[in-house]
């Protein structure tokens, strides 16, 4: 990615708010041919490592989260949730996976292709912050243990209702959703680009809350207008090596003691390619990280603003203050600590380790 030029002078807020492009999203569910489980164990382990390495390589170019559906669904076993700004990367990843030895045993059981966009309805109940609308443009998966993938289609009668009537129905629907704060909703849209209309991904640590939410939504007016909302997928959030181990064969995941975190590093770019006052992004462990050169010091924070996921690397950098101002609503963050220091932002953003080795910039997970 090209580094963005920034100035050290805090700019006056631009006349028009800068908005990120929509993101493309793919939910690819795989099923493993049982013949693979009869291969020699050393071959199974080698194939899992090869597959893991290919996926990790793409993890630098897109946001990619692995989940297992082993034990929750019979017809698929592995989900790769992929988020990027160019759908062509999905094709490159799919092709690279097919070229691996294990790829010849993997079948795509389900595939859903969608995009983020603003809702046509106002989220206006329960004192909702208007920033929720902008959050919808950016998927930023949490660390929740489960994601429930929920593709659905509404009836054509729904679209014949007046906008005012639909808004009223959605108000009731949204009101019910707000009773379940443990559930985080990611809404994506598939009109015309895939078979469904909406692909929802609900993240939570509490499957019981999700069950209760869906049951309660069945009693709302909006449920009358659902044409199809199956299949449904209960997916367990795991590290990539752990997810591959659920498929069978000898374990390749490093065993970690309880509470122990694993350090993970990713190469960013040559130091010479990130001039002072510039920033760029890199993906690390399913997160988009913003990497900043502040007078020669390399600093890294989560690129998604804690307010509504604005892209901090596209903000205004102040090298003297070691801060960045979010381009969406001008919240300010300290680049060393990630602290929210001014404006609408209240919560800090995550910080990451950085190092320079052989004139190359690296970013790593921060161990607590
Ligand atoms: S997204 Fe609102 S201040 Fe960053």
What is the secondary structure of 291-310 as a DSSP string?
A: EEEETTEEEEEESB-TTT--
Q: What's 339's domain CATH number?
A: 2.102.10.10
CA of 231 relative to ligand 1 center, distance in Å: 35
**CB distance 137 to 19 below 8 Å:** yes
Which of 13, 327, 331, when mutated, tests ligand 1's pocket best, judged by the most ligand atoms within 8 Å of its CB? 331
Q: Evaluate if residue 234 carries a pLDDT over 90.
A: yes
Using CA atoms, how far residue 296 sits from 271, 277, 349, in Å, is 9, 9, 22
- For residue 329, give the ligand 1 atom closest to its CA: 3
Ligand 1 atom having least distance to the Cα of 345: 3
Domain count, the chain: 2
Distance 333 CA to ligand 1 centre (A): 10
The answer on 78 and 190 residing in a single domain is: yes
CA 90 to CA 83: how far, in whole Å?
9
Which residues fall within 8 angstroms of residue 281, CB to CB, at 6 or more apart?
1, 288, 289, 290, 291, 303, 311, 313
* φ/ψ (deg, to 5) at 175: -60, -45
Closest ligand 1 atom to Cα of 309? 1
- Which among 17, 316, 324, 326 is the best mutation to test ligand 1's pocket, defined by most ligand atoms within 8 Å of the CB? 326
Tokens 């659902």 belong to 226
Do 39 and 133 fall within a single domain?
A: yes
Could you tell me the distance, in angstroms and rounded to a whole number, from the CA of residue 331 to the centre of ligand 1? 6
Position 14 pLDDT exceeds 60: no
Residues with CB under 6 A from ligand 1: 131, 305, 307-308, 310, 326, 328-329, 331, 344-345
b/e code 54-76 from CB counts within 10 Å (16+ = b): bbeebbeebbbbbbbbbebbeeb
Query: Is residue 236 domain-shared with residue 270, that is, in the same domain?
Result: no
Residue of 347, 248, 272 whose CA lies nearest to 44: 248
- Tens of pLDDT along 261-312? 677 888 999 999 999 999 999 988 878 899 999 999 999 999 999 998 899 9
Q: Which atom of ligand 1 is nearest to the CA of 327?
A: 4
197 and 283 inside one domain: no
Specify the length of the chain in residues. 368
* Shared-domain flag, residues 235 and 293: no
* Statement to judge: residues 354 and 226 lie in one domain: no
Specify the residue for token string 């040559």.
Answer: 270
What are the pLDDT digits (tens) for 158-194? 999 999 999 999 999 999 999 999 999 999 999 999 9
Using one digit for the tens of pLDDT, what is the confidence trace for 52-97? 999 988 877 889 999 999 999 999 999 999 999 889 999 999 999 9
* Ligand 1 mean position, distance from CA 119 (Å): 18
Which long-range CB contacts under 8 A does 288-291 form with residues at least 24 apart? 288/63, 288/140, 289/352, 289/363, 290/324, 291/354, 291/361, 291/363
Element (H, E) at 46: helix 41-58
Distance 294 CA to ligand 1 centre (A): 21
72 and 219 together in one domain: yes
How does residue 126 score in pLDDT terms, banded at 50, 70 and 90?
very low
Ligand 1 centroid, distance to 284 Cα (angstroms): 22
Tell me, yes or no, whether 203 and 273 share the same domain: no
Residue-range definition of the domain harbouring residue 283: 265-364
One domain, residues 93 and 134: yes
State the distance from the centre of ligand 1 to the C-alpha of 295, rounded, in angstroms.
25
* CA–CA dist 139, 106 (Å, integer): 27
What is the CA(139)–ligand 1 centre distance, in A?
Answer: 14
For ligand 1, pick from 17, 310, 341, 347 the residue to mutate: most ligand atoms within 8 Å of CB.
310
| 123-132, 157-166, 179-188, 312-321: least confidently modelled range | 123-132
Given this model, what pLDDT does residue 140 score? 84
> Do residue 240 and residue 269 come from a single domain?
no
**Ligand 1, atom nearest to 131 Cα:** 2
Q: What is the 22 CA–ligand 1 centroid distance (Å)?
A: 16
d(Cα 214, Cα 225) in Å, to the nearest integer? 15
Given this model, what pLDDT does residue 64 score? 92
Q: Which one of 245, 278, 293 terminates a domain?
A: 245
Question: Which ligand 1 atom lies nearest to the CA of residue 344?
Answer: 3
Whether 5 has a pLDDT exceeding 50, the answer reads no
How are strands ordered across the β-sheet holding 323-325? 316-318, 323-325, 332-334, 340-342
Going by C-alpha positions, the residue among 166, 150, 167 that lies closest to residue 158 is: 166
Query: How remote is the CA of residue 332 from the centroid of ligand 1, in Å?
Result: 9
What does residue 138 show for φ and ψ, rounded to 5 degrees? -130, 120
Same domain, 239 and 291: no
How confident is the model over 206-224, as a mean pLDDT? 97
| Helix 41-58, helix 88-98: angle, nearest 10 | 160
């Amino acid at each position: 990615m090209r580094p963005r030029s920034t100035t050290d002078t805090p700019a006056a807020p631009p006349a028009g708010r800068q908005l990120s492009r929509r993101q493309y999203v793919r939910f690819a569910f795989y099923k493993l041919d049982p013949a693979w489980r009869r291969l020699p164990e050393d071959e199974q382990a080698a194939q899992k490592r090869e597959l893991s390495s290919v996926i990790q390589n793409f993890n630098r170019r897109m946001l990619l989260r692995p989940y297992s559906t082993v034990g929750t669904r019979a017809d698929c076993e592995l989900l790769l949730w992929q988020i990027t700004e160019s759908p062509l990367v999905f094709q490159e990843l799919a092709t690279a996976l097919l070229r691996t030895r294990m790829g010849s045993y993997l079948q795509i059981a389900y595939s859903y292709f969608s995009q983020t966009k603003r809702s046509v309805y106002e989220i206006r109940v329960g004192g909702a912050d208007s920033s929720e609308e902008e959050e919808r443009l950016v998927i930023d998966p949490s660390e929740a243990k489960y994601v429930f993938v929920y593709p659905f289609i509404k009836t054509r009668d729904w679209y014949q209702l007046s906008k005012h009537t639909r808004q009223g129905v959605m108000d009731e629907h949204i009101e019910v959703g707000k009773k379940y704060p443990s559930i985080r909703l990611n809404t994506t849209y598939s009109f015309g680009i895939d078979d469904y209309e909406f692909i929802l991904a609900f993240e939570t640590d509490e499957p019981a809350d999700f069950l209760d939410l869906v049951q309660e939504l069945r009693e709302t007016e909006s449920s009358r207008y659902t044409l199809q909302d199956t299949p449904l997928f209960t997916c367990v959030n795991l590290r990539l090596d752990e997810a591959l181990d659920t498929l069978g064969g000898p374990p390749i995941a490093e065993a970690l003691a309880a509470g122990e975190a694993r350090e993970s590093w990713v190469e960013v770019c040559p130091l010479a390619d990130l001039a002072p006052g510039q920033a760029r992004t890199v993906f690390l462990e399913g997160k988009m990280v913003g990497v900043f050169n502040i007078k020669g010091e390399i600093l890294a924070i989560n690129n998604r603003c804690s307010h509504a996921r604005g892209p901090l690397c596209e903000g205004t950098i102040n090298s003297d203050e070691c801060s960045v101002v979010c381009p969406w609503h001008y919240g300010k963050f300290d680049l060393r600590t990630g602290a929210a220091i001014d404006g609408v932002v209240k919560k800090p953003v995550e910080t990451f380790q950085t190092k320079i080795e052989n004139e190359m910039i690296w970013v790593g997970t921060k161990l607590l």
